[in-house]
Chains A and B, each alone.
Chain A
Amino acid sequence: MKEQLHKIKQRGLEDLEKISNMKQMRSFEVQYFGRKGELSQVMRRIKDLPKNERPALGKLANEVKQALNIARSKAEKSLTSKQREVSVIDLTWPSQPHRLGHLHPLTQFLDKVMNIFTSMGFEVLEGQEVETPEYNFDLLNIPKNHPSRDAWDTFYVEGGMLMRTHTSPVQLRAMKKKRPPVRLIAPGRVFRHEATDAGHETTFYQCEGLVIDRSITVSNLISTLEQFLKEVYGPKVKIRVRPEYYPFVEPGMDVDMQCLICDGQGCSVCHQRGWLEMLGSGMIHPKVLSNMNIDPEKFSGFAFGLGIDRLMMLYHGINDVRLSYSGDLRFLEQF
């Protein structure tokens, strides 16, 4: 019986080599593996053998069956690939891709910013783009006819309204209903009345932030903004903080990031300064806290403002802010 099994195996392998179409393959399967096939017949007879011979022969029978089966499936694969006439050029030729559109780089970057801040526990708020001077200026400690207002060139809308110059009004309005502790960001479109060039737009996006709680410190501000910049531009980011005047914060400061292109050596992107101005920030002015009905004696907080366009342009290496609003498909399709 042992001999018989070896013979079946040898013959089976020989038969396989001769097979040239699927029909022959199917009859091969019946001949060897079928219920009445040769292997089945031998295997059935094993149980009639003396008990001590059964395991060795059983094992051999299984090995033969396995060997034939593997050989069979290999033969079948080569048979089918011959039939499909598969060629290298056919396998490597790409299909037409799905017609996907493109999200605006500002949208993509803003989503990134929102994700980072929400992961830090910030709530996202939105508001109106047309505002009153009260919410855009007065309540932010930017009095009428004060030179500090000159920093915000403004579009005025009929009826004594204006196009918001920052998203701070969103926060002011939100704080009418909220009590500390709060962590907010307000992303959105803002407007400045200034001549456009590669670095200036009348329309751009901003994301302002606000944190109010007991004992919020300048250290907290620096830490939060450093974390944010590292999250966007990578762990190598180096920042520096310098005093800057904004009427709604005291102390006020700007955060610079060391130029990533020249590592602080000075290049055209950073105007040879080695540093890039990234955002404005500061501890919320006690008057502004009071305007939000928050007791500056009990609570403190910081605020910051990110110019999304500038940060996005730096991220992608875009050198003209106007491209974002051009509707030019050659630009939009790059993202």
Chain B
Amino acid sequence: MRLSLSWLKEFVKYKEKPEQVAEILTLGGFEVEKIIRPGQELGGVIVGRIKTITNHAEAERLSVCTVSVGHGQPLKIVCGATNIKVGQKVPVARVGVTLPHGLKIEGRRIRGVDSEGMICSESELGLSDDHTRILILDKAAKIGQKLSTVLGLNDTVLDVTISPNRADVSSVIGLAREFAALAGHVFIEKKVVVPESKKFKINQLLSVRVRDYNLCPQYTARVVKNIKLGPSPDWMQSRLRASGLKPINNIVDVTNYVMMEMGQPLHAFDLDKVKGKKIVVSQAGSTKLFTTLDGVERKLSSDMLMIYDAKDPVAIAGVMGGQNTEISKNTTDVVLESAIFKPLSIRKTRQRLGLATEASNRFERGIWWNLPAQAVDRAAQLLARVASGEVASGMIVVAQEKNSKPKMIDVDLNKINALIGIKFTAQQVISYLNKLSFKSVLGSEKSNWQVEVPDWRQDISISADIVEEVGRMYGWNNLPPTPIYASHKTSSLPRILLGQQKIKNLLMSCGMTESINYSFYGQDLLEQFGWQIADHYRIDNPMNKEQEYLRISLVPQLYVNILKNYQSYESIELFETGNVFYKKKSGLPDERTMVAGVIYNRRKLTGDDRPMRRLQSNLAAMARHLNIEPDKLHYAVSRSDSHVVDVMIGQTLVGWYGWLIQNEAKLGSSPVWFELDIAKLMAEAEAKRRYKQLPAFPAVTRDMTFRVSTDVDYYNIVKAIKGVDVLINDVWGTGLFEESEKKRGATFRIVYQAPSRTLRNEEVNVIEKNIIELLDTKFNAVIKK
């Protein structure tokens, strides 16, 4: 909401500078986003008078004007607008002037004619969106005068953020009341006196019927006759401009003025066009289409609340009026509508129509009971004053209940103090609340009493709300910070988070860099990976096609990361930890926290430099770091997909690794990927290691090399060797080399150890013989000497 400070001054006499007003409001709960000085921005724009207009010789749509600006020679200006006439006063920006949007005026040659400035439209001046027509100024404007003075823009405007619970401060009066209370000033209450004309009685001019009180609890109307339609006075126009509203004519301007001043949206119908002189508030029912003021035909749904006359719809209640009863040149008599519409219904309607207006915003926040009558009186008063209207005597008020009871809230001083953290006296609290127009009703007890909530404060409903009022009046920043003195329990990080931290640090040490990607990807990407849409959760309202499905793997986006970087990096090693979403039949998704990584090198590397080997080294390091028994980590070739290898811890499948074969030609080589389920890993991780007695006798270490066939599983060989004798303490592969297409040479290191003696060579020889026999029978492996 844009608050004009000159308008504010009408209700609060204050001496503070705009910056101070802004700070008081901000610290009181009404954050001032910006201090705007529209006059300053238009500082260089002055009033000029068009002396001559001639057609541009070379461009049909352009004309060349001479414009006098007071002193010096008249300026020659090329202009493209069609609404200019000789003798008009217009805003002129000379060469060197900068306009609000940052456009700097320069002397230019336009199609062979030198232009010495610009005649400005409202949009160029930052006053509205209208960029086709030049702003034509009042005849009374003085040539050479500053435009900001003519338009009354020497005002300062605060851009205030209004929270959705405070309907009352979407108005000058609402903010003025708050500012007065916070700054310790007096709020000046203005009495509205309506000059009613005895000639006309409203009941003879109009009748109102409300069909559904649930959607429209109150409908209030006045009729003003014999209005002289025309522009509204300068002071009203400049205030509307300062508030960000465009002046239109005195009737519409008055309704907008009252909305800004009091917070009540009003609508003016042309009484002549209201058929049957009857207003009916009702749901749309079978009405399907309706053309609003802006000329757009709107599709209605049956539960939208509408205003009808005796025959046709005339407005979408609380959102926008209709073209059929719009104020026009011939309007003399108007119906002023000032009503309460239910927020929920307005909200649904404007959402479905995609049509949020100043009016709908205010109805959505909620109008309090006494406002409609006050506002319609104010509008009638202004129409009489600025448009010579004659106000018909009487007001129509249609409502189910006549009055609303004031809300009472219990105040407990001790509870206020206990929640804020310092000791207020009852007097202090009463005085704070009093300044905010809450009336205290004291009883016999000193620390407990009741307050009556002012009717405009619909946001107040429980005693915690009173705490907030006391706190912000005292000033939260005056409160001494106090550390918490209370018992607390010790705790450690959740296991998955702990695992995640360890894994991240480990992979970082292994040379991998962490990436963070969206939780969504698109159909294109998931299909590149051969996956089914049916296995994914769909987002009902995705930002775009690339973010339509919830990921079931972290790998695709890591792959996209490679594509993003591969041209500048020969080697890329990335990982990510994050949640994936496995589909379940019902309930929330099966969310798993995964760790995934990709390793890529543009060059085709061989042997242990291969990305696959690096990846395995990283997995082994990860297992070590998580205290997983080193022997337990092994790999198994997946039967279904030759590009995927199972990563096992003991008997548990914890994840996979594999190759990304898409785009190999472009990338030069296939990146490898892995993805592991952190919860499964952590289930295998031991919290602590058990100490094993240091061996008292030396071990014997020997290597054996076998010729094996390529389809033998490493892990099975190791398991078999270990099973040969209890004296075999450890076995691992140390080298693998190519013998022929179907055969590999595989070297194993075997550690023999006895707990209570030194092993003799003969003993080890016997075990070796057994190993050779077993591998021969089991795997057809032949020892190499």
Chain A residues engaging chain B, CB cutoff 8 angstroms? 98-104, 106-107, 111, 114, 118, 121, 123-126, 128-132, 145-148, 150-151, 155-159, 161, 163, 181, 183, 189, 191, 193, 195-196, 202-203, 211, 213-220, 222-224, 226-227, 240-245, 247, 250-254, 283, 285-286, 300, 324-330, 332-333
Q: Which of B527-563 contact A (CB under 8 A)?
A: 537-543, 547, 550, 557-558, 560-561
Per-residue A-contact encoding for B158-176, CB less than 8 Å = 1, 0 else: 0000011110000000000
B537 contacts A333, CB within 8 Å? no
Q: How far is the CA of A172 from the CA of B483 in the complex (A)?
A: 25
Chain A residues lying within 8 Å of B573, measured Cβ to Cβ, are 101
Taking chain A's interface residues, is the majority helix, strand, or loop, or is none over half, making it mixed? mixed
B28 contacts A243, CB within 8 Å? yes
A124 contacts B494, CB within 8 Å? yes
Chain B residues lying within 8 Å of A195, measured Cβ to Cβ, are 543
Tell me which of A111, A124, A129, A191 has the highest count of chain B C-beta atoms within 10 A of its own C-beta.
Answer: A129
Q: How far is the CA of A99 from the CA of B572 in the complex (A)?
A: 12
A102 contacts B418, CB within 8 Å? no
Q: Which of B131-188 contact A (CB under 8 A)?
A: 163-166
Per-residue A-contact encoding for B22-43, CB less than 8 Å = 1, 0 else: 0000111101000000000000
Q: How far is the CA of A203 from the CA of B150 in the complex (A)?
A: 48
A220 contacts B472, CB within 8 Å? no
When C-beta atoms are compared, the residue in chain B nearest to A212 turns out to be B486
Asked if B419 is at the interface of the complex by the 8 Å CB criterion, the answer is: yes
Asked if B464 is at the interface of the complex by the 8 Å CB criterion, the answer is: yes
When C-beta atoms are compared, the residue in chain B nearest to A218 turns out to be B420
Q: How far is the CA of A286 from the CA of B409 in the complex (A)?
A: 15
When C-beta atoms are compared, the residue in chain B nearest to A193 turns out to be B541
Chain B residues lying within 8 Å of A181, measured Cβ to Cβ, are 486-489
B419 contacts A128, CB within 8 Å? no
A332-B421 in contact given A147-B365, A223-B481 (Cβ < 8 Å): no
When C-beta atoms are compared, the residue in chain A nearest to B538 turns out to be A158
One of A129, A222, A244, A300 near B419 (C-beta < 8 A): A300
When C-beta atoms are compared, the residue in chain A nearest to B547 turns out to be A202
Minimal beta-carbon separation of B366 from chain A (angstroms): 9
B484 contacts A218, CB within 8 Å? no
B476 contacts A253, CB within 8 Å? yes
**What 8 pairs across the A-B complex have the smallest Cβ distances?**
A217-B421, A219-B421, A243-B29, A251-B468, A223-B481, A327-B561, A245-B163, A123-B491
Chain B residues lying within 8 Å of A227, measured Cβ to Cβ, are 483
Chain B residues lying within 8 Å of A107, measured Cβ to Cβ, are 504, 514, 516
B347 contacts A147, CB within 8 Å? yes
Chain A residues lying within 8 Å of B504, measured Cβ to Cβ, are 103, 107
Minimal beta-carbon separation of A97 from chain B (angstroms): 11
Interface residues contributed by chain B, number (CB under 8 Å): 88
Jot down 27 A-B pairs with beta carbons below 8 A, ordered by A: A100-B511, A101-B507, A101-B508, A101-B512, A104-B516, A121-B489, A128-B588, A128-B589, A128-B591, A129-B581, A130-B588, A130-B589, A147-B343, A158-B540, A218-B420, A219-B421, A224-B483, A242-B31, A243-B27, A243-B468, A251-B472, A254-B31, A283-B467, A286-B464, A300-B419, A327-B515, A330-B568
Give me 7 other A-B pairs in contact (C-beta within 8 A), A155-B540, A215-B418, A222-B481 excluded. Answer: A101-B509, A101-B573, A121-B489, A158-B539, A222-B479, A247-B165, A329-B513
Q: How far is the CA of A125 from the CA of B494 in the complex (A)?
A: 7
A157 contacts B538, CB within 8 Å? yes
Q: How far is the CA of A151 from the CA of B511 in the complex (A)?
A: 41
Chain A residues lying within 8 Å of B31, measured Cβ to Cβ, are 242, 244, 254
Chain A residues lying within 8 Å of B347, measured Cβ to Cβ, are 145, 147
A327-B560 in contact given A156-B539, A242-B29 (Cβ < 8 Å): yes
Asked if B519 is at the interface of the complex by the 8 Å CB criterion, the answer is: yes
Chain B residues lying within 8 Å of A124, measured Cβ to Cβ, are 491, 493-494, 497
Q: How far is the CA of A196 from the CA of B165 in the complex (A)?
A: 27
Q: How far is the CA of A147 from the CA of B170 in the complex (A)?
A: 14
B344 contacts A100, CB within 8 Å? no
Minimal beta-carbon separation of B374 from chain A (angstroms): 23
Q: How far is the CA of A99 from the CA of B468 in the complex (A)?
A: 55
